[in-house]
Structure 1
Amino acid sequence: MLDLRLHHVSIVVTDLERSVAFYQKAFGLERLPRPPFKTQGAWLDCHGQQIHLILYPQGTYRANEAIDNNDVHFSFHTRDFYAILDHLLAQGFHEGPDTNDPMRLYVLRDGPAGFPQLYLRDPDRNVVEVNGAP
C-alpha cells in the first residue's frame, strides 16, 4: 500500500466568512495563510491536514433535505468520539427528527462500519462526517 495521508479537502462554499466561522466554532480549526489565488477562499488547519474553502456564490449543491451519508462528504477522525459529540451538542446541534434543520446531527453509535460515526451539514449543505475508527 502506498504511504498516503490526507493533505487537504476542498469544499465549495457560497459565503466564505460564514463557512470559516462554522468550521472554527464547530471543530476549532485555525485559519492558515493562503496564496493569492484568482478565486477567494480560506485554508484551515486540522492537525497538519487542511480544509480548503473555495468561494463560489452560485453553489454546486444537492437538493436533498436530509443528511445523506452516501453523498459526497469528507471525514474527520477522532480518538474521543463522544467528546466531539458532546462539544457539538453544546454548540446547539441536536439529533432531532427535523431533517431540514441545519443544526441536526445524524449519529450512528453502533453503525455498520463497526465504529461510531456522526454526520452534519455545513452552511452550504456539504456533508461532514466525524468518526471514531480504530
Structure 2
Amino acid sequence: MIQYHGLHHVSLTVTDLEQAKNFYSNILCLKELPRPAFDFAGAWYEVGGQQIHLIVLPTSQTIRQEKSISSREGHFALRVKSYDETLSWLKQNGVAVLEKPESASGFAQIFCADPDGNLIELNVDKKDI
C-alpha cells in the first residue's frame, strides 16, 4: 500500500519563461522560489506548502494547441480565499475566464489559462461565496 503525505508539486511546460513568470507572479500572485541550477530554463512557485514547477520545453507534447477554456480538459485546482475578489482581479488584468459559481462539484469555480494554455481552476466552497 502507498501512503501519502500530500501533493508536493505540479510541473507544467511553457514556451516563453518571461511571459509565464509574469502570469504566475503578477496575475496569480504566487511567490517564486529559488530553483536549482538545472541545464534547462524554468521557475518554481510556492502555493500553500506545495509547489508549481514551470519547465521551458517548446516541443512538449503537453502544450495545448487549442487555447479555449474548458473545465473538462486536464487542469489543476488552487483553493482561493474569495471567489469575487479573485474573479474581479482576473478580469481587471484581462484574463479570460470560465465562471462556474454553481458547479455540481460543490465548489464555486473559476477556470483560466496561462499564456501556454495550461488550465487552472481557482475555487472556493460554495458556502463561502
TM-score, normalization: structure 1? 0.82
Q: Is the Cα–Cα contact under 8 Å of residues 78 and 133 in structure 1 kept in the other structure?
A: no
Report how far residue 46 of structure 1 moved: 1.7
Residues 24-65 of structure 1, C-alpha deviations (whole Å, 9 max, x = no match): 111111211101122211111123221100010224323334
After TM superposition, the structure 1 = structure 2 runs for residues 1-134 of structure 1, keeping only pairs within 5 Å, are 2=3, 4-60=5-61, 61-93=63-95, 104-133=96-125
State how far apart, in whole Å, the 2-side matches of 1:43 and 1:66 are.
25
State how far apart, in whole Å, the 1-side matches of 2:92 and 2:110 are.
15
SS of 1:132 mapped into structure 2: strand
Moved over 3 A (4+): 1-4
**Structure 1 residues 4 and 70, CA gap change in structure 2 (3 angstroms):** farther
Q: Is the Cα–Cα contact under 8 Å of residues 99 and 110 in structure 2 kept in the other structure?
A: yes
Report how far residue 66 of structure 1 moved: 2.2
RMSD across aligned C-alpha pairs, in angstroms? 1.9
TM-score, normalization: structure 2? 0.85
Aligned residues: 124
Structure 2 spans left out of the alignment, 5+ residues: none
Question: Structure 2 counterpart of 1:113, which letter?
Answer: S
Sequence identity of aligned pairs in percent?
Answer: 36
SS of 2:107 mapped into structure 1: coil
Higher strand share: 2
Structure 1 spans left out of the alignment, 5+ residues: 94-103
